[in-house]
Amino acid sequence: MNIVVNEELKAYIEPLTPDEHDALERSILTEGCRDALVLWGDVLVDGHNRYGICQKHGLPFQTVQNPRFQSMEDVHLWMIDQHLGRRSVSDFQRGVLALRKREIMAERKARSATATDTAEATPTADVPEAAAALPAPDPLNSREAIAKAARLSSSQVVMIEKIQKQAAPELVAAVKSGTISINAAAAVATLPAEEQVAAAVAGKDELKQAAKRVRELNKRKPREEAPSDDKAHAETAAGAEGNTDELHALRQRVAELTAENTELRRQVAQLQAALPSDSTPF
């Protein structure tokens, strides 16, 4: 039998760790290859590790065809669903797979909408229906749906999205290996890339310390921002108080000038009264 190993499919799902691969190899050497390899035509879809181990030791194996695949996209979705159901897959990897499935479903939906618009504008023709197509996967159109598919909480999905978008490759590798938790990795991912790399290279303890520093900083920020608000209010109050003082000073000055003017008028009146009635001004 000619079996084709597609490297893209082989790498599509996170590979086994060395320890996991060794455990699988011991199991096959003891009990044989119990699960059949899944093929699409002559392309190997599921069972790359089992196939490699059987080839290495010259052990027999069974194969089964899945004729319902219509495209490589169908293959990817099937692979994702298979691994989402396996207990050996880590929480982080299940989240990554569920998010990947959402992307595929979104792209498929967009193409379907475009195809529908095109079909409505094009005269129809008799086209035979595709036989035995795979049923449509459940749409993952909400964070809650993604979390349910990955058997995670919605907050874990948010953190995994943050890690995918912001984490340096070294930090992602640390999460995959279990060196750092999803929660801690999401915190470290907010640091500049060079700091992430330095913490990942330094090891588990430094990663924990980096996550701790980020959390403490985030706790302090609200307390630091509050005084700034108080300061703004104080400055506003001070400004208002300053305006009030200035207005009071102006009113006091007006009162003084009015009093002076009144006094001058009184003095002029006295002078006029002291002059003889027939006197002529100079």
Mean pLDDT value across residues 170-185: 94
Asked if residue 125 has pLDDT above 50, the reply is: no
pLDDT tens digits for range 44-73: 999 999 999 999 999 999 999 998 999 999
Asked if residue 173 has pLDDT above 80, the reply is: yes
- Full-model pTM: 0.67
Confidence of residue 152 (pLDDT cuts 50, 70, 90): very high
CATH fold of 1-67: 3.90.1530
Sheet holding 37-40, edge to edge: 43-46, 37-40, 63-65
- Name 46's bridge partners: 38
Q: What is the pLDDT of residue 271?
A: 75
Instruction: State how far the Cα of 100 lies from the Cα of 146, in Å rounded to an integer.
Output: 10
- Name 37's bridge partners: 63
Angle at 161 between CA 156 and CA 165, to 5 degrees: 150
DSSP 84-149: HT-TTS-HHHHHHHHHHHHHHHHHHHHHHHHHHHHHHTS-----PPPTTPPPPPPP--SHHHHHHH
Domain boundaries, the chain: 1-67, 70-114+135-165, 167-269
Instruction: State how far the Cα of 216 lies from the Cα of 219, in Å rounded to an integer.
Output: 5
DSSP 166-206: H--HHHHHHHHHTSS-HHHHHHHTTS-HHHHHHHHHH-HHH
Phi, psi of 45 (to 5 degrees): -105, -45
